[in-house]
Amino acid sequence: MIDRRLNDWAIKNKRLMSGNILLSILSGAIIIGQAYVIATIVQLAFLQKEGLSSLLPLFALLFTLFLLRSILDYAVAKGNLRFASKMKGIFRKSLMEKYIGSSVLHANRYKTGEQVSLYTSGVEQLDDYYRSYLPQLIQSSIIPVMILVVVFLNNVYSGLIMLITAPLIPVFMMLIGSMAEKKTQEQLESMLRFSGHFLETLKGIVTLKLFGRSKTHGEQVKLRSDQFTEATMSVLKIAFLSALMLEVLATISTAMIAVEVGLRLVYGQLTFHTAFFVLLLAPELYQPLKNLGASFHTGRNSIAAAKKVWEVLDEEDRPVQWGEKELNSLSRVKELTLKNVSYQLEQQGRVDEGNGNGLSETAEILSDISLQMTRGQRVAIIGPSGAGKTTLLKVVLGLLSPSEGEILVNGTPLPFFSEEEWLSQVAYVDQFPYIFSGSIFDNVALSKPEASEKEVQRACEFAGVDLFVSEFSNGYETIVGEGGRGLSGGEKQRIALARAFLKRAPIVVLDEPTAGLDLETEAILTKSIETFSEDGMVLMVAHRLQTILKADVVYLLENGRIKGAGSHEELMTASPAYQKMMSAYQGGVSHEVL
Amino acid sequence: MKFYRLLRLMTKEKKYICLAILFGFLAAISSIGLLGAGGYLISQAALEPPLYTLTLTIIAVRFFGLLRAGSRYGERYMSHKATFRILGRLRAYVYDLLEPVTPQIFSKYRSGDLLARMVSDVDRLQFFFLKVVYPPVVMVIVFLLTGIFLIRFSLLLTVVLWLGFFFVAIAVPMILSMVQKRMKPVLREKNGALSNEVSELFYGFTDLKTNLQLSKKNEATEYESAELINAQEREHIVQLKGETIAKGISFMVALGVLFLGVMLVNAGEVNGVMLALLVLVSLTVFETATPMVELPGHIEESHEAERRVFSVSDQDLKPIVEKGEIGVASSRFPQSITFQNVSFAYPGNERSSLKGISFRVNPGEKVAIVGPSGSGKTTVLQLLLQFYYGYSGEINIGNHDIKLMNEESTRELFSVVMQENYFFQDTVKKNLLLAKPNGTEAELKRVLEAVSLQKLPLETMVNGMEISGGERQRLAIARMLLKDAPIVLLDELTTGIDSITEQEIFSVLWPHVRGKSVIYITHRLRDLHLMDKIIVIDKGRILEQGTYKELMKKQHGYFRRLKQLEQELV
């Protein structure tokens, strides 16, 4: 049970591998030497009745061997530790490069939690592979063999007992691996599920309270847990039984060896020295094998974690292309054109893993989109959910790379410019802006960290951030939690608008929130769109009739295709699809008495 | 006292704990016995005596071999059983701990975070017995007995053994724990810092990238990662040093025993036959002691988990006013609800969520509370359900101040359907019976029919993929119908549901609430003409109240403008 790619990393590090192998050989030699010296001392003192003084050199030798073994163990363990640390850093770095450089993070926002945990605890689990599992694996494939050889040279019969039983241990382990262990694994998984169930119960306390059943439910928790214990134990019994076989094998063979050498001693076929030497070595033979069995679990975890890491690193991707050109050669963006732009995810398969409904955004595609906007224009995109509206915005922002077609800025293809230059020309107002943990001031200043206090304040006044900041005793220095805990949806939106205002970018890309905003924020949003388009261009996904009416051009998007373009009036006369959409929502409310 | 509560919980599983310790002890002592007897056997044999004199020793060797295998099995079985049973108790205990403070506690922590943390802490604590309590107990017994056994030969041997034991099992772990105590908080802090940075980077990715702050954040993340890795490495190295020293000491003890043994044999105080036995015993006995180096780490971890779990109950979340015991006798009849000048801020929040709210819901009246997200609508409902205390003003049901009413019996007055209704991972039937434990099958079927879910078999598992969002809400309504309480509270029950499904849900809902009082909380303004009264709130204040017609007549009314905006939504 190994992971080839994890091993490749280790093998590349020659010093580490040779260190581990050398250590194993040396430890093996020291273990054998130790046993030999101990056997000699005991034999001399016991049978030859040697005095303590003549044995002193042997004691000194034994001491040296003990010391050597300790130092050696420490040195190599430390080397492994260092290597594991280094590898963690490397894995994190490659993961991050992959995430940042690719469209993964945009395309699949619903997997963010998983990505965070892979980066942190997932990589952490790889640590064990290098720190303990791999060295253990090396040791257990070298030391037992050495001991076996030495025992054979001394006493063939003991060697035979060992030869028969020792390989049986890994065989048994594999057997456990395929049979009982599988069951144990299932059981462990169901244990995890069970702790998931416990979580569910805790989440359900409110509901239980509402039905007046919460006080007595603690009993139920205990009851269910106990039932589960019984079920688990009946399965574990089998797993333990196989472990028992292993144990029996190791101890019985030790006992067999003891009796065997004992009897042969009686018949004078063996010296005491050899017999004792072999007996001392017997437990040392089984120890590394047993250790390996114990660390199987760790190894399995690491390999599972590694698998997930490889999955991410191997994911095919189409990174956005960027060039060197500086935009100031154009001074200001006057014109933005999309020519036959299509967007498609490289791998369709992995997108739809039962995330439920409402997540269809992840599978959005765009086909053959052409649109044009000039300075001072407001362009609105409308369409049903899942039509590809947000994806289109992200393609324009340069966050996603079109699979076909091109984006032209003042006539020059976007990939000629440097990424930094382009991103400094655009401001993006998300439907769900992210609020970072820190002060309100810092959150607004995100778009321009070098901005003066006055500038930030002006942006906040513009976006109505000042209106709610005044409610806090710490004002702009009020710390908001990660994700903006304690702020309402409208307030987060205002912070995003203040960011965009502060940035003063010629292109503003805006994803209009659908519902739930307060009237004050609604008014601020409308005013902002006007201000942004005075001097620049605004591209927005629109949900409000007012916004649509005020747009210079409206694009109707359906299933990733443009189904109509023009002003509201033009579309109302020319596009049946547009008419249908407009009347659909009118119909949606008409049943109510107005 | 450290672990006081945990240990008290454990004492309830005495039987399995004692058995596990017994078997653990047998396993350890028999593996010492096996090698000791083996050593004795060959020493005896070396003197080439008649074979029959060896029989007893041979039997002993075999006996110890079998005993060890068998008792290892018993040890595994019993210790797992004890662990699982403790886990069950722990869970029930944690449940009882959380029950009285839910949901007040969620204003302090995000509910998902808190609960997930509780669960993983409990998972960690389940090993408290296996890793913290059990090994030292077994080890102490083994060393005591081995030491006593050695007194037979010489007190000096016992002293060397116990001295070694003291260093390996007590001194080294204690020093280690002292060093690590200073490192752990740093480690925790660095761990938190990294996961904060990386969460912010991933969740705020788009905002960071479009504002050109991504590389800065990436650097910060990489820095935190390196810091954490360094801190971990330092900790591991300390651990490694401890392990190396402990192992070295155990070698030295073996050496010392051998040295003393030779000396005693020379002096004729000990028979040479015993020498091999002594060496093997002293080598094997430390097998149980070297894992002690890991003990401080486990103790620290368990202690931390315990502290977090039990801190929930140590918090001051109890009602400030002594709760009254007024029951609600006539609970079948709707009663009036009045809020008088109610203000409230969630614990730990600077801003008030409600600022002097006053309104009245007459028996049988249907009232909608509308407003944008974050306006304080849901807070009204939470106070009414007595999920939070510490508000100012007065809330009355009928003639009673709810502060003076018995919490449980007040809740009997309400049926609640929320945006997210909780269902247990169980059958439809079990989830419905929650609302009416003695409900008959026919009754349940009737209720399902009432919400147009007659096609849903009672044995279907809820939370399975086949139940849609709309069906879940209708199932919640079914539960509401079964409870048949006089006051119905509806909180954003169609948020996140498309308008066609929304229509379906309302068409099954409204006919069933005739004659009941209804408080309907929503930011969507649909079906509001069916209400007797609409209360509009924003920023914790009531802006307007009146009938649908009255509010729509107000030229610049807040409600009218909200309604207009909503109609213009595409």
Dump pLDDT digits (tens) for A322-352: 877 776 655 678 889 999 999 886 544 433 3
Question: Which of A135-149, A550-564, B107-121, B494-508 has the weakest average pLDDT?
Answer: B107-121
Residues B79 and B226 in one domain: yes
**A151-168 confidence digits (pLDDT tens):** 999 988 888 888 887 777
- The answer to whether B230 contacts A222, with C-beta atoms less than 8 Å apart, is no
**A181-206 confidence digits (pLDDT tens):** 566 566 656 666 666 777 778 878 88
pLDDT at B341: 96
Domains of chain A (ranges, CATH numbers): 4-314 (1.20.1560.10), 335-350+372-593 (3.40.50.300)
B307: Cβ contacts below 8 Å, ≥ 6 apart: none
pLDDT at A582: 79
- The answer to whether A210 contacts B411, with C-beta atoms less than 8 Å apart, is yes
Residue A537 and residue B124: Cα distance in Å, rounded? 56
- The answer to whether A593 contacts B529, with C-beta atoms less than 8 Å apart, is yes
Residue A594 confidence (pLDDT) above 50: no
Residue A358 confidence (pLDDT) above 60: no
In a domain, B353, yes or no: yes
In a domain, B442, yes or no: no
**B256-283 confidence digits (pLDDT tens):** 999 999 999 998 888 989 999 999 999 8
Residue A485 and residue B221: Cα distance in Å, rounded? 22
Question: Which of A14-18, A44-48, A261-265 has the weakest average pLDDT?
Answer: A14-18
φ, ψ at B311 (rounded to 5°): -65, -25
Contacts B123 to A, Cβ<8 Å: 195
Q: Which of A30, A202, A224, A430 to substitute to test the interface with B, most B CBs within 10 Å?
A: A202
In one-letter notation, the amino acid at residue B272 is G
Q: What is the mean pLDDT of residues A502-526?
A: 88
Residues B230 and B90 in one domain: yes
Total domain count, chain B: 2
Q: What is the DSSP annotation of A350-374? A: TT-SS--TT-GGGG--EEEEEEEEE
Contact between residue A158 and residue A264 where contact means Cβ atoms under 8 Å apart: no
Domain boundary (B287, B316, B345) is at B316
Contacts B566 to A, Cβ<8 Å: 515, 589
pLDDT at A451: 93
Residue A588 confidence (pLDDT) above 70: no
Residues B309 and B391 in one domain: no
Model confidence band, residue B107 (pLDDT cutoffs 50, 70, 90): low
Residue A481 confidence (pLDDT) above 80: no
Q: What is the mean pLDDT of residues B242-254?
A: 91
Residues B44 and B136 in one domain: yes
pLDDT at A392: 92
User: Which of A70, A120, A548 has its CB closest to that of B248?
Assistant: A70
Residues B354 and B491 in one domain: yes
pLDDT at B467: 74
- The answer to whether B73 contacts A66, with C-beta atoms less than 8 Å apart, is no
Q: What is the mean pLDDT of residues A28-38?
A: 94
- The answer to whether B102 contacts A209, with C-beta atoms less than 8 Å apart, is yes
In a domain, B475, yes or no: no
pLDDT at A591: 38
Q: What is the CATH number of the domain that holds B352?
A: 3.40.50.300
- The answer to whether B483 contacts A105, with C-beta atoms less than 8 Å apart, is no
Contacts A203 to B, Cβ<8 Å: 111, 115, 422
In a domain, B323, yes or no: no
**How far does Cα B328 stand from its chain's mean position?**
35
Closest CA–CA distance from residue B350 to any residue of chain A (Å): 7
pLDDT at B165: 92
**B154-210 confidence digits (pLDDT tens):** 999 999 999 999 999 889 999 988 888 888 888 888 988 898 899 889 888 889 988
Task: List the 515-544 stretch of B: residues with Cβ below 8 A of A.
Answer: 523-524, 526-527, 529, 538-539
Residue B498 confidence (pLDDT) above 90: no
pLDDT at A62: 94
A427: left (phi over 0), alpha (psi -120 to 50) or beta: beta
Contact between residue B92 and residue A221 where contact means Cβ atoms under 8 Å apart: yes
Query: Averaging pLDDT over each range in A170-179, A234-243, A489-498, B298-307, which range is the top one?
Result: A489-498
Closest CA–CA distance from residue A55 to any residue of chain B (Å): 9
Residue A555, CB-side half-sphere exposure with 13 Å CA sphere: 24
Q: Which domain holds residue B523?
A: 337-413+485-569
Whether complex ipTM tops 0.90: no
Contacts B425 to A, Cβ<8 Å: 197, 200
Nearest-Cα residue of chain A relative to residue B415: A210
Q: What is the CATH number of the domain that holds B297?
A: 1.20.1560.10
Contact between residue B75 and residue B20 where contact means Cβ atoms under 8 Å apart: yes
In one-letter notation, the amino acid at residue B139 is M
Residue B5 and residue B303: Cα distance in Å, rounded? 11
Domain boundary (B316, B346, B375) is at B316
Closest CA–CA distance from residue A436 to any residue of chain B (Å): 7
Residues B68 and B129 in one domain: yes
Q: What is the mean pLDDT of residues A265-283?
A: 89
pLDDT at A584: 63
Model confidence band, residue A359 (pLDDT cutoffs 50, 70, 90): very low
- Find the helix packing angle between B14-46 and A272-314, rounded to 10°: 140
Residue A587 confidence (pLDDT) above 60: no
Q: What is the mean pLDDT of residues A557-584?
A: 87
Residue B431 and residue B429: Cα distance in Å, rounded? 5
pLDDT at A246: 73
**A447-469 confidence digits (pLDDT tens):** 999 999 999 999 999 999 999 99
Residues B290 and B353 in one domain: no
Q: How many other CB atoms are there within 10 angstroms of residue A311's CB atom? A: 11
pLDDT at A354: 37
Mean pLDDT of chain A: 83
Collapsing DSSP to helix, strand or coil, A467 comes out as helix
Residues B343 and B291 in one domain: no
pLDDT at A355: 36
Contacts B57 to A, Cβ<8 Å: 262
pLDDT at A449: 92
User: For every residue of B402-462, which 3-state class applies, written as one string?
Assistant: HHHECHHHHHCCEEEECCCCCCCCCEHHHHHHCCCCCCCHHHHHHHHHHCCCCCCCCCCEC
In a domain, B393, yes or no: yes
pLDDT at B71: 92
Interface membership of B375 toward A (CB under 8 Å) = yes
> Which tokens go with A69?
């073994």
Interface membership of B174 toward A (CB under 8 Å) = no
Residues B106 and B181 in one domain: yes
pTM: 0.82
In a domain, B445, yes or no: no
Model confidence band, residue A353 (pLDDT cutoffs 50, 70, 90): very low
> How many interface pairs between A and B have CB atoms less than 8 angstroms apart?
409
Closest CA–CA distance from residue B41 to any residue of chain A (Å): 6
Mean pLDDT of chain B: 86
Residues B379 and B279 in one domain: no
User: Which of A66, A434, A499 has its CB closest to that of B255?
Assistant: A66
> Which tokens go with A261?
């050498």
pLDDT at A192: 62
Closest CA–CA distance from residue B276 to any residue of chain A (Å): 6
Q: How many other CB atoms are there within 10 angstroms of residue B106's CB atom? A: 18
In a domain, B507, yes or no: yes
In a domain, B15, yes or no: yes
Cα end-to-end distance, chain B, whole Å: 62
Contacts B422 to A, Cβ<8 Å: 203-204, 206-207
- The answer to whether B77 contacts A233, with C-beta atoms less than 8 Å apart, is yes
Task: List the 34-63 stretch of B: residues with Cβ below 8 A of A.
Answer: 34-35, 37-39, 41-46, 48-49, 51, 54, 57-58, 61-62
Residue B248 confidence (pLDDT) above 70: yes
Residue B518 and residue A355: Cα distance in Å, rounded? 34
- The answer to whether B81 contacts A233, with C-beta atoms less than 8 Å apart, is yes
- The answer to whether B85 contacts A226, with C-beta atoms less than 8 Å apart, is yes
Residue A356 confidence (pLDDT) above 70: no
User: Which of B58, B263, B483 has its CB closest to that of A211?
Assistant: B483
pLDDT at A110: 56
Domain boundary (B316, B347, B378) is at B316
Model confidence band, residue B314 (pLDDT cutoffs 50, 70, 90): low
B458: Cβ contacts below 8 Å, ≥ 6 apart: B427, B428, B429, B432, B441, B444, B445, B448
